[in-house]
Structure 1
């Protein structure tokens, strides 16, 4: 996996609206970049809804939340609408960004992993949390890290 202190690799993916998202466009803001296994599964829904419920707190800390999975844009559109998610979900259907960020597979390689990165305003990784089962813990732990960074 990537390490704290390394520059976050830049990438470009499609959003739920078909627009192009580029990580470097968020330079100057903190970014919570979270990789998750699959839309509309229990753990992933709990995680996304927890980010949704605390989204204003993240904004107040100067951070943008961005979720990535290998689901399609169409799947992300349904998931976003169903749970009223206020942040971007990006479609990494070929797993290229997951590989770029060295996100490991979980459960004997059967599932895509769940890893959250906190990236500071300068594009440097400040925190990495890797836990498949602690979906909601990703939210609380990243919020704690952001509280320690200058807004």
Structure 2
């Protein structure tokens, strides 16, 4: 995540899992990013990332104005991370975006 921070991006994982599950996942994976529980699916649905009550593995780059600048959907979290990182490198004018990783 330090590489994303160097590009001015903040990474937040959003999941329909509950807080306890996300806390356990974060500890097991030693994941440095913040996680947010969207247990009722409100955020997931508002971004069109709902998948039968769960969240699609889709990544959004959200500008400071709240608009989606880029999105990428792949079942592989690593592919999502790599694609979004490459996009951020190619678009340095979009400094300080938020990157939302749905899982």
User: Any unmatched runs of 5+ in structure 2?
Assistant: 96-103
Cα separation, 1, equivalents of 2:79 and 2:48: 20
TM-score by length of 1: 0.56
Instruction: Tell me which residue corresponds to 2:98.
Output: none
2:60 matches 1:114: no
Give the 4+ runs in structure 1 shifted more than 6 A.
Answer: none
Instruction: Tell me which residue corresponds to 1:10.
Output: none
TM-score by length of 2: 0.80
Pairing partner for 1:138 from 74, 77, 80: 80
Distance 1:87 1:110, change over 3 A: closer
Per-residue CA distance 1:90-133 (angstroms, 9 max, x = gap): 1111111101111142xxx586311110112332211111222x
Give the SS at the match of 2:11.
Answer: strand
| CA root-mean-square deviation | 1.7
* Larger of the two Rg values belongs to structure: 1
Distance 1:92 1:74, change over 3 A: same
Cα separation, 2, equivalents of 1:131 and 1:144: 15
Q: How many correspondences in the alignment?
A: 93
Pairing partner for 2:2 from 43, 47, 56: 56
